Chain A
Amino acid sequence: MRARCGLPDSTRKGPSALLLCMMGIVACNVRFVQLTGAADPLWLAPLYVITLAAPFLLRFRDSMVYRGIWNLAIVLFFLRLVLHASTSELAFVLHDGLMLAILCQVHVLNNLRREQRPDLLFINSYLIAVITGYITVDLSFAFTFAIYAPLFIVGLQLQNLARFDSRQRAAALPAMGRESVRRSAVLVAATLLAFFFFPRDFNRPALFSSYFDLEADGSSYEVGFTQSLDFAGIDREAGQSDRVVMRLEVLEGDPRSIPRYWRGATLCDPRRSGGWEVREDALPASSLMRDPAWELRWQGLRLARATDAKGWARPDGEEMTRVHVTRAGGVEQRLFLPREAFTVDLDAIHTEGELVVRSDGTAAYSNPGELRYEVQLGLEPREPAHRAPGPLEVESFVQQPRSLFNQSARTLARELSRRLPDDAGALRVTREFAAYLASRYPYRAPGTPGAARTLDEFLGTEAGGHCELFASTLATMLRSRNIPARVVSGFMLAPPPPGERVLLVRSRNAHAWVEVFSGGEGGWFSVDPTPQLEAGGEDAGWMSGVLAGLEERWAALTRFDSGSRARFWEALRSLPGDLIRRSESELGALAGLAAAVALLVLLILQVRRRRLSPPATVEALRREFDRLGVQLEPQETPREGFRRAGSGEVDPDRLVALRLAVEEHERDRYASVGASDLLP
Chain B
Amino acid sequence: MRPTHFGVKSLLFFTAITGSFYAAPYVNLFFLLVAFFAAHWVLGAWWTYANLRGIEATIEDPGPIQAGTRGRVEWSVVGESRRFGLSLNLEFESGAKGTGGLAFTGGDPRSALQLPALGRGVHRARQVTVSSSYPFGLLTRTVTLAVSPVLHVYPEPTAAPPGRLAQELAAADATSGRLGAQGRTMPAGLRPRVEGEALREIHWRASARRGSLVVNEWESDHEEGQAVVLDRRCEGDAFERRLSAVAGAVTEAKRRGSALRIVSQSLDQTYTGSGVHWDEALRFLAEVEPLPESAAAPEHTSPHAGEVRFA
- Is B284 an interface residue, CB under 8 A from the partner? no
Would B25 and A204 count as touching, CB distance under 8 A?
Answer: yes
With known contacts A137-B29, A190-B42, A208–B23 Cβ distance under 8 A = yes
A187's contact among B39, B107, B211, by CB below 8 Å, is which?
Answer: B39
- Is A126 an interface residue, CB under 8 A from the partner? yes
A175's contact among B35, B39, B104, by CB below 8 Å, is which?
Answer: B104
Would A156 and B136 count as touching, CB distance under 8 A?
Answer: yes
- Is B174 an interface residue, CB under 8 A from the partner? no
- Is A626 an interface residue, CB under 8 A from the partner? no
Would A133 and B135 count as touching, CB distance under 8 A?
Answer: no
**B39-59 contact mask (Cβ, 8 Å, vs A): 1 or 0:** 110110001000000000000
**B111-136 contact mask (Cβ, 8 Å, vs A): 1 or 0:** 10010000000000000000001111
Kindly provide the distance from the CB of A666 to the nearest chain B CB, expressed in whole angstroms. Answer: 13
B130-178 at interface with A (beta carbon < 8 Å): 133-137
Among B37, B47, B137, chain A packs the most CB atoms within 10 A around the CB of B137
**Interface size bucket, B side?**
35 or more
Would B35 and A212 count as touching, CB distance under 8 A?
Answer: no
A643 to B211, CA, bound (A): 10
Would A1 and B27 count as touching, CB distance under 8 A?
Answer: no
- Is A203 an interface residue, CB under 8 A from the partner? yes
B1-41 at interface with A (beta carbon < 8 Å): 5-6, 9-10, 13, 17, 20, 22-40
A194 to B38, CA, bound (A): 10
Residues of A within 8 A of B101 (CB): 1, 163-164, 168
Kindly provide the distance from the CB of B193 to the nearest chain A CB, expressed in whole angstroms. Answer: 13
A156 to B114, CA, bound (A): 26
**A19-53 contact mask (Cβ, 8 Å, vs B): 1 or 0:** 00000000000000000000000000000000000
- Is B102 an interface residue, CB under 8 A from the partner? yes
A134's contact among B27, B35, B100, B211, by CB below 8 Å, is which?
Answer: B27
Closest A residue to B104 using CB positions: A172
Would B107 and A133 count as touching, CB distance under 8 A?
Answer: no
Q: Please report the number of residue pairs spanning A and B whose Cβ atoms sit closer than 8 angstroms.
A: 150
A117's contact among B6, B82, B104, by CB below 8 Å, is which?
Answer: B6
Would A157 and B135 count as touching, CB distance under 8 A?
Answer: yes
B37's contact among A126, A172, A175, A560, by CB below 8 Å, is which?
Answer: A126
Would B26 and A204 count as touching, CB distance under 8 A?
Answer: yes
A179's contact among B25, B39, B40, B135, by CB below 8 Å, is which?
Answer: B135
With known contacts A133-B33, A134-B24, A677-B211, A171–B10 Cβ distance under 8 A = no
With known contacts A123-B13, A126-B13, A559-B28, A211–B23 Cβ distance under 8 A = yes
Would A369 and B24 count as touching, CB distance under 8 A?
Answer: yes
- Is B106 an interface residue, CB under 8 A from the partner? yes
B23's contact among A164, A194, A212, by CB below 8 Å, is which?
Answer: A212
- Is A367 an interface residue, CB under 8 A from the partner? yes
- Is A153 an interface residue, CB under 8 A from the partner? yes
- Is A183 an interface residue, CB under 8 A from the partner? yes
Residues of A within 8 A of B133 (CB): 160
A200's contact among B31, B37, B102, B108, by CB below 8 Å, is which?
Answer: B31
- Is B204 an interface residue, CB under 8 A from the partner? no
B185-199 at interface with A (beta carbon < 8 Å): none
Residues of B within 8 A of A558 (CB): 28-29
- Is A198 an interface residue, CB under 8 A from the partner? yes
- Is A79 an interface residue, CB under 8 A from the partner? no
Kindly provide the distance from the CB of B202 to the nearest chain A CB, expressed in whole angstroms. Answer: 15
**B227-265 contact mask (Cβ, 8 Å, vs A): 1 or 0:** 000000000000000000000000000000000000000
Residues of A within 8 A of B33 (CB): 126, 129-130, 133
- Is B206 an interface residue, CB under 8 A from the partner? no
- Is A201 an interface residue, CB under 8 A from the partner? yes
Would A161 and B84 count as touching, CB distance under 8 A?
Answer: yes
- Is A630 an interface residue, CB under 8 A from the partner? no
Would B43 and A134 count as touching, CB distance under 8 A?
Answer: no
Would A183 and B30 count as touching, CB distance under 8 A?
Answer: no
Residues of A within 8 A of B136 (CB): 153, 156-157, 160
**A192-218 contact mask (Cβ, 8 Å, vs B): 1 or 0:** 001100101111111111011000000
A438 to B26, CA, bound (A): 46
B135's contact among A160, A190, A204, A639, by CB below 8 Å, is which?
Answer: A160
- Is A340 an interface residue, CB under 8 A from the partner? no
Residues of A within 8 A of B104 (CB): 168, 171-172, 175-176
- Is A385 an interface residue, CB under 8 A from the partner? no
- Is A169 an interface residue, CB under 8 A from the partner? yes
Would B103 and A164 count as touching, CB distance under 8 A?
Answer: yes
- Is B275 an interface residue, CB under 8 A from the partner? no
Residues of B within 8 A of A153 (CB): 40, 135-136
**A178-195 contact mask (Cβ, 8 Å, vs B): 1 or 0:** 010001001110110011
- Is A305 an interface residue, CB under 8 A from the partner? no
A241-264 at interface with B (beta carbon < 8 Å): none
- Is B85 an interface residue, CB under 8 A from the partner? yes
16 contacts across the A-B interface (CB closer than 8 A): A1-B101, A1-B114, A119-B6, A123-B10, A127-B13, A130-B33, A133-B29, A157-B134, A160-B135, A161-B103, A164-B101, A172-B84, A176-B104, A187-B36, A369-B24, A370-B27
* New A-B pairs, 5, CB < 8 Å, besides A153-B135, A157-B84, A195-B31: A160-B134, A175-B84, A176-B104, A194-B39, A367-B25
List B residues at the A interface (Cβ < 8 Å). 5-6, 9-10, 13, 17, 20, 22-40, 42-43, 47, 82, 84-85, 99-104, 106-108, 111, 114, 133-137, 211
List A residues at the B interface (Cβ < 8 Å). 1, 3, 117, 119, 123, 126-127, 129-130, 133-134, 136-137, 141, 149, 153, 156-157, 159-161, 163-164, 168-169, 171-172, 175-176, 179, 183, 186-188, 190-191, 194-195, 198, 200-209, 211-212, 329, 349-350, 352, 367, 369-370, 557-561, 639, 643, 677
The 8 closest A-B pairs by CB, nearest first: A172-B104, A168-B103, A164-B103, A190-B39, A172-B103, A194-B35, A160-B137, A156-B136
